[in-house]
């Protein structure tokens, strides 16, 4: 077995390149299909429910399996798990060539989620193992965080560019050569790593975490899509999922060799990093979703133009992530952590507080602030790993990735619900809606996309204009709500972080 101490500096950074490149593909896959969905729908004719499952099944499977696969990798070998994940991701992407139904696409997306769950937490745990020097590790985690944000923002742009020249299948097939390269590079460069005495693998706890996480994430997504918390199915799923997760937590706390080491939360540094990571993803996911809709359906941008306009959030995030570790050494870790989340909050507030009509310049500045704020992910990752013993690196990685996933679905569900409720209320009160037939009025209130489509079909441009105004106003209210939430998260992360925390110092 290779040992990190035997690694040259060049091999350590080469290993980081392999790990972050594969993470880029996984993060892109979360958002790339949003652009390809219209063309796919025109060919496969999925029902509305099937369209939702095509998008959602990936993150549902991924969220449910993160914890279990991290625990298995600790025992079986992290490199083996990572290479298996690469293989599953690449092969399942290739199978899209043989699909001719929505059900087949849903199945492939589910298998991609399995591969993603094998890859995401292992990238973090291997960084913790390979980079034994805390200062180097902080830099490596800054690069990892930058690539994570870059992938999420690059998905719509890459998807738009692919659809300019190829069919929707290209959104899947792009993964194949990238994963093949990752397998070859991983075999040659990455070390094997496992926990020496991990204890018995708790299969029942794994089942509890799978069922609980899947139900909770599905319920939150359903609340967001229906823009109401009164959905009976979602309420039942949320209650059942919460009960299963509570059972899982109690079982882990009582076990001498738990599937997930929740005692890590006793560290204020670990807890603050996790809260900040969740808050950063809360902002970025909601901003990408709502502003992308505004750009295309209100401002008239094409998918490629929208992808380009969204890129400032990725560029600012990448720069801020790289600068965060050295900046933390100058002004302090807690200032960079809390300040980063607060910066994202100010970006959200700027959208809501601009007087008059929302402009592209305001959106650009807001996206830059939000992106710069998500640079706090670099410090959050460094704090989480710094506060975790090396033998708990897999668990720490699973917890961090779970916080990212929950942050994303909470941001989309909560802020998306606020936006949808405000949009419906304002459009319902407009005079334009009173002039159309009841069926059209009801459909137009479902979403901005539906209103724009109906306006074209019925030759009522005033309906699209009024819906655009309603959506813009709803977006601004959502910006204020999201900004205030993030400022609260920033304050909590700041005061929870112990004074003098130094992620570049050796862990105690």
Q: State the Cα–Cα distance between residues 99 and 97, nearest whole angstrom.
A: 6
- pLDDT at residue 2 greater than cutoff 70: no
pLDDT in tens, 151-201: 776 777 777 778 778 888 888 888 899 999 999 999 999 988 877 776 778
Dihedral sign for Cα atoms in the order 492, 493, 495, 498: positive
Query: What pLDDT does residue 48 have?
Result: 64
| Overall average pLDDT of the 243-251 stretch | 93
Structure tokens at 430: 């407009």
DSSP letters for 453-477: HHHHHHT-HHHHHHHHHHHHHHHHH
Q: Which of 392, 430, 369 is nearest to 195 (CA)?
A: 392
Say how far residue 398 (Cα) sits from the centre of its chain: 14
Residue 1 is predicted with a pLDDT of 41
Q: Is the dihedral of CA 489, 491, 496, 500 positive or negative?
A: positive
Residue with tokens 């937590």: 249
Residues 1, 83: Cα–Cα separation, whole Å: 16
The mean per-residue pLDDT over the stretch 80-93 comes to: 94
- pLDDT at position 250: 93
Residue 508 has pLDDT above 50, yes or no: no
Residue 97's CB: how many other CB atoms inside 10 A? 10
CB 385 within 8 A of CB 128: yes
Instruction: Give the alpha-carbon dihedral of 316, 319, 321, 324, to 10 degrees.
Output: -110
Percent of the chain exceeding pLDDT 90 equals: 19
Q: Give the tens place of pLDDT for each residue, 364-390.
A: 999 899 888 877 778 888 888 888 887
Q: SS3 for 72? A: helix
Classify 7-201 by CATH class: mainly alpha
Measured CA to CA in angstroms, residue 89 lies from 59, 187, 188, 224, 415 at distances of 14, 16, 19, 28, 31
User: pLDDT tier at 410 (50, 70, 90 boundaries)?
Assistant: confident
| Average of per-residue pLDDT values in the chain | 83
CA quadruple 487, 489, 491, 493: dihedral, nearest 10: -150
Q: Rounded to an integer, what distance in angstroms lies between the CA atom of residue 167 and that of residue 424?
A: 34
Domain 260-508 in CATH 3.40.50.2300? The answer is: no
């Amino acid at each position: 077995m290779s040992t990190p101490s035997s690694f040259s500096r060049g091999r350590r950074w080469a290993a980081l390149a392999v790990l972050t490149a594969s993470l880029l593909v996984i993060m892109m896959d979360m958002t790339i299909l949003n652009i390809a969905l219209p063309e796919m729908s025109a060919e496969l004719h999925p029902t509305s429910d099937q369209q939702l499952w095509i998008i959602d099944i990936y993150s549902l499977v991924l969220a449910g399996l993160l914890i279990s696969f991290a625990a298995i990798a600790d025992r079986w070998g992290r490199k083996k798990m990572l290479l298996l994940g690469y293989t599953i991701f690449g092969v399942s992407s290739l199978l899209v060539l043989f699909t001719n139904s929505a059900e087949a696409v849903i199945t492939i997306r589910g298998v991609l989620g399995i591969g993603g769950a094998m890859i995401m937490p292992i990238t973090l745990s291997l960084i913790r193992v390979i980079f034994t020097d805390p200062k180097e590790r902080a830099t490596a985690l800054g690069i990892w965080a930058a690539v994570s944000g870059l992938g999420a923002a690059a998905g719509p742009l890459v998807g738009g560019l692919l659809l300019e020249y190829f069919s929707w299948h290209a959104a899947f097939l792009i993964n194949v050569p990238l994963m093949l390269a990752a397998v070859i590079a991983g075999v040659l460069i990455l070390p094997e790593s496992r926990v020496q005495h991990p204890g018995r693998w708790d299969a029942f706890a794994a089942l509890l975490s799978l069922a609980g996480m899947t139900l909770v994430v599905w319920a939150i997504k359903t609340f967001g899509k229906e823009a109401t918390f009164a959905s009976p199915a979602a309420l039942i799923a949320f209650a059942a999922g919460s009960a299963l997760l509570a059972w899982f937590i109690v079982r882990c706390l009582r076990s001498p060799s738990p599937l997930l080491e929740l005692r890590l939360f006793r560290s204020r540094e670990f807890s603050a990093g996790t809260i900040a990571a969740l808050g950063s993803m809360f902002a970025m996911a909601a901003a990408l979703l709502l502003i992308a809709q505004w750009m295309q359906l209100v401002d008239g941008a094409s998918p490629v133009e929208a992808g380009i306009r969204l890129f400032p959030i990725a560029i600012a995030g990448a720069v801020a992530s790289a600068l965060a570790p050295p900046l933390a050494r100058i002004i302090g870790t807690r200032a960079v952590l809390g300040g980063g989340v607060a910066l994202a909050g100010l970006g959200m507030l700027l959208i809501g507080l601009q007087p008059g009509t929302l402009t592209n310049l305001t959106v650009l500045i807001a996206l830059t602030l939000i992106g710069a704020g998500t640079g706090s992910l670099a410090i959050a990752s460094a704090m989480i790993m710094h506060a975790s013993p090396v033998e708990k690196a897999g668990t720490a990685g699973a917890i961090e990735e779970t916080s990212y996933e929950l942050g994303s679905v909470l941001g989309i569900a909560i802020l998306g619900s606020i936006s949808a409720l405000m949009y419906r209320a304002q459009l319902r009160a407009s005079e334009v809606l009173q002039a159309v037939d009841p069926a059209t009025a009801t459909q137009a209130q479902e979403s901005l996309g539906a209103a724009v489509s109906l306006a074209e079909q019925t030759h009522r441009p005033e309906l699209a204009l009024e819906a655009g105004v309603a959506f813009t106003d709803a977006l601004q209210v959502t910006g204020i709500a999201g900004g205030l939430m993030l400022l609260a998260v920033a304050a909590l992360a700041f005061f929870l972080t112990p004074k003098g925390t130094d992620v570049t110092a050796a862990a105690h």
